[in-house]
Amino acid sequence: MNTQNPWLVAGGWLSAIAAVIHLACIFGGPDWYRFLGAREGMAQAAERGEWWAAAITLGIAIVLAIWAAYAFSGAGMIGRLPLLRTGLVVISAIYLLRGLALVPIAFSPAAQTPFNIWSSAIVLGYGIAYAVGTWLAWSSLSNRAAG
């Protein structure tokens, strides 16, 4: 295992943990959705047993698991995934843009909920881990053989 890039390793584990937390919501039910900050409509849909609440949550978990795999691939822990550099750049950008929601939140008292503040700060940390890790691995990502 190559731990030369602790930033991507950390980013991968953060995404994997987030994926597991999303799965826990599906099995934990509406109270888990509420506790973890989902919108009330989503929690109510889960309460009514509507399929789409679990489907959306499962979709998010799958995306987060794929993002974890890309981080682990970039760190050399697993085989090279397709479009690795592009994937890591896009994942970094999505996390950073979501995290930068802190800026408008700071200027909007109505948006300054604990969930909005904490989730933005956490995701900003994810984005920083991916971006720094991608930057540090950039040359090795272009030189690694596909396979």
> What does the alpha-carbon distance between residue 123 and residue 97 come to, in Å, rounded to a whole number?
9
pTM: 0.89
pLDDT digits (tens, 9 = 90+) for 21-72: 999 999 999 999 999 888 889 999 999 999 999 999 999 999 999 999 999 9
Neighbours of 100 (CB within 10 A): 14
pLDDT digits (tens, 9 = 90+) for 78-120: 999 999 999 999 999 999 999 999 899 888 888 888 888 999 9
Residue-level pLDDT at 113: 84
> What does the alpha-carbon distance between residue 108 and residue 104 come to, in Å, rounded to a whole number?
6
Which residue is associated with the tokens 């995404």?
A: 15
Q: Give the pair of three-digit tokens for residue 104.
A: 């408008």
At 147, the pLDDT band (50, 70, 90 cuts) reads very low
Residue-level pLDDT at 143: 59
> What does the alpha-carbon distance between residue 69 and residue 10 come to, in Å, rounded to a whole number?
12
Higher pLDDT, 7 or 2: 7
At 18, the pLDDT band (50, 70, 90 cuts) reads very high
